Amino acid sequence: TAVIDRDRVAGCLLGLALGDALGAPYEGGPIERLLWRMIGRTSHGEMRWTDDTQMTLDVTESLIAQGQIDQDDLARRFAASYRWSRGYGAGAARLLRRIRRGQPWRSANRAIFANGSYGNGAAMRSAVVGFYAAHQPTEFTARVHQVAEITHAHPLALEGSLVVALAASRVALGASNEAILAALREQVQLAPFRARLEIAQQWLERGAVPSAPEIRSALGNRVTAAESCITALYLALAYRERPFLDMQQQAIAVGGDVDTIGAIAGSLWGAARGAAALPETSLARLEACSQIRAAADQLHKLLAAQYDSK
């Protein structure tokens, strides 16, 4: 193995932000869409991204500042970054406000959902954790779960975060789709994920991409981890050698939680192909593009230093 390329780290973060920003106008019902038409652009006319990108930046910046996973620092950053206008999940919004008021994350996250949230809000920020833990095979799952459990302690949410982190780490190191699926089959335990993984594998072996309604009904398009993570994984692997915007168009057609499915698929596509392969005209209209690039470069430096010291 080697250290993950700088361009692939940037591709992952920028692909995520682009999938998020391009998908956000299509998320939710008529009221949410109308709202996003009003607040979905910056004062410079750029496309705004949502909680998916914000939390990924929070994780990235925490790793850079601490040089390791520090759960209390992560919780503080998640809470400090919370804005209603970023479209957080309803439970996540309540949880982050509790943490901001000073409640410890370990108790706050059980006060909202007794077993922890099974939303996809941990999976959507897990690709960068996969990069961080890429060369720690025995601790990989524990590391990924540490970042996820702060807000998403439910086993289904933890499993979704593992799917995304593992796929991101493998695809960024150039693994084939077959090798990525084999790694996932080995690590992924829970039935709702295993069943969908099997369908995705059959579709990838067959080659042709099914219609959006077929993808939606077989793999899911909702805000739960179990009904979105394999959908995003499938799109990223199916469109790996095709244009980013073709994948994004299919994510929009699948519908439902488009920003998050687009974000996860975008992060995996970007990790596979690198930032240079992302559509330039879209990147030029993306909120805080240079801040994201800078964070990616610093994360890459951390990964390189970590790799050299091994």
Binding-site ranges for ligand R7I (CB under 6 A): 50-52, 87-92, 113, 115, 117-121, 154, 223-224, 257, 259-260
Q: Please pick, from the candidates 16, 26, 50, 91, the single residue that binds Mg ion as defined by CB under 5 A.
A: 50
Among Mg ion, ligand R7I, none, the one that 173 touches (CB under a kind-dependent 5 to 8 A) is none
Q: Which stretch, 84-92, 146-154, 202-210, 290-298, contacts Mg ion (CB under 5 A)? A: 84-92
Partner from Mg ion, ligand R7I, none binding residue 169, C-beta < 5-8 Å depending on class: none
Taking the least distance from each CB to Mg ion, the nearer of 194 and 222 is 222
Instruction: Give the shortest CB-278-to-ligand R7I separation in angstroms.
Output: 20
Q: Check binding of 267 to Mg ion (CB under 5 A).
A: no
Alpha carbons 201 and 92: distance in angstroms, whole number: 32
Closest of 157, 92, 151 to residue 118, by C-alpha = 157
> In the set 259, 271, 295, 302, which binds Mg ion (CB under 5 A)?
259
CA distance 13 to 293: 8
Task: Please say whether the beta carbons of 184 and 167 come within 8 A.
Answer: yes
Give the per-residue contact string, 51-80, with Mg ion (x = CB under 5 A; - = no).
xx----------------------------
CB of 174 to ligand R7I, least distance (A): 29
Q: How far is residue 112's CA from residue 168's CA, in Å, rounded to a whole number?
A: 30
Question: Crossing angle for the helix pair 71-81 and 105-112, nearest 10 degrees?
Answer: 60
The CB-of-131 to Mg ion minimum distance in angstroms stands at 21
Gap between the Cα atoms of 273 and 139, Å rounded = 27
Identified binder of Mg ion from the candidate list 15, 87, 116, 160, rule CB under 5 A? 87
The residue ranges that bind Mg ion (CB under 5 A) are: 50-52, 87, 257, 259-260
